Homo-oligomer: A and B are copies of this chain.
Amino acid sequence: MKIVVDAMGGDNAPFATVKGAIEAIKSYGIDIILAGNKLIIENQLARHDYIKEKIEIIHCSEEITNEDRPVAAIREKKDSSMAVALRLVREKKADAIVSAGNTGALLAGGLLILGRIKGIDRPALATPYPTVDGMSVLIDGGANSDCKPRNFLEFGIMGSVYAEKVLGIKKPSVCIVNIGTEEEKGSEIVKEAYKLCKTGPFNFKGNVEARDIPGGYADVMVCDGFTGNVILKLTEGLADSIFKLLKEEFVKNTLRKMGALLLKPGLRDFKKQFDYTEYGGAPFLGVKGVLIKAHGSSDEKAIKNAIRQGIKFIENNVIDDIAKKLSV
């Protein structure tokens, strides 16, 4: 199995991408292609011990930054690490791509270079979402701001295959994120989507209100990319704010400081539940190839875990399974 890593993508590249790739080779025994500037990558590699035969460098003269406009970047920077890595997947020279680079460019590249699975109108980001009850999947995590009702059905199909095959959830429940539990609630599009999902080839459980998301009410939460992005970013922001507030309360006097000291391990365990690096990246489902989007601020651990996700995808034939479900 061979996975290509966009070595230049992400806030901590190339340090995190190279180190994460080396760690993944050690843990999972796979082969890695590092796409990016050869000199810079070799410089990073020289700092570590690694199995030389397991790593191939493919030199790219360009780089896509977060400031680049997505579609233009993919079209014009043909020798960028991201575009080159995507072409390697299309040409079957790699089994999957992992990138922490410009999200918009990566999604545009997925569409333009890999293409869509037959029957899928809109590929979507399937984001693992930690809940009190384990892991759920939020789809679409932000690829499509405007969605049609049929897209919700596609998201339900793709999300449930992913939840079952990669996250190991048996007969995952699928819910539409809505502002009430009743069928007639919500926007016009969501109401139409409900009618379609009722007969979808998955375990449809109705609507989930946002209040019940953190409790793990639904295994797969289906929504448009606008709503999904708001949910993900609000979760991130709220967790941050709550930790900040707690910290402030806990240093207000000596007694509280003592208490906080005793609770430090508890707080650390707690914080871990909200740590995205534990879960690796989010797959872009619906394109013809395994594409894992890692968080822009991924460290080496997050990159390694994103690679692990890619491996599970390949081993479990997720893409074939989605295609099969669509053709029924």
Interface residues in chain A, defined as those with a beta carbon under 8 Å from any beta carbon in chain B:
131-132, 142, 145-146, 177, 179, 186-188, 190, 209-215, 224-227, 229-242, 244-246, 249-250, 252, 255-256, 258-263, 265-267, 269-270, 273
Contact = CB atoms under 8 A, between A and B. Distances in A.
28 contacts: A132-B245, A145-B179, A145-B186, A146-B187, A146-B188, A177-B230, A179-B230, A179-B233, A187-B226, A210-B234, A211-B233, A211-B236, A213-B234, A214-B237, A214-B238, A214-B241, A214-B242, A226-B227, A230-B230, A238-B238, A242-B242, A245-B273, A249-B263, A249-B267, A250-B266, A252-B266, A256-B263, A256-B266
Contact of A234 (B187, B211, B224, B244): B211
A214 B229 contact: no
Contact of A187 (B145, B209, B269, B270): B145
Contacts of A270: 245-246, 249
Contact of A259 (B145, B187, B238, B261): B261
Given A230-B231, A256-B265, 7 more contacts: A190-B226, A210-B231, A250-B263, A250-B266, A255-B262, A259-B262, A263-B263
Q: How many copies does the complex hold?
A: 2
Nearest to A274: B242
Contacts of A227: 226-227, 230
B210 A233 contact: yes
A255 B273 CA distance: 21
Contacts of A213: 234, 237
Contacts of A250: 263, 266
A245 B246 CA distance: 14
Nearest to A224: B187
Nearest to A215: B241
Contact of A249 (B131, B238, B256, B269): B269
Nearest to A273: B245
A108 to B, nearest CB: 14
6 closest Cβ pairs, A-B complex: A259-B262, A249-B266, A214-B241, A210-B233, A259-B263, A210-B234
Nearest to A263: B259
Contacts of A187: 145-146, 224, 226
A214 to B, nearest CB: 4
Contacts of A237: 210-215
A153 to B, nearest CB: 19
Contacts of A190: 145, 226
Nearest to A216: B241
A226 B256 contact: no
A114 to B, nearest CB: 23
B241 A239 contact: no
Contacts of A273: 245
Contacts of A259: 258-263, 266
Contacts of A238: 214, 234-235, 238-239
A238 B130 CA distance: 11
A231 B258 CA distance: 35
A237 to B, nearest CB: 4
Contact of A226 (B145, B179, B234): B179
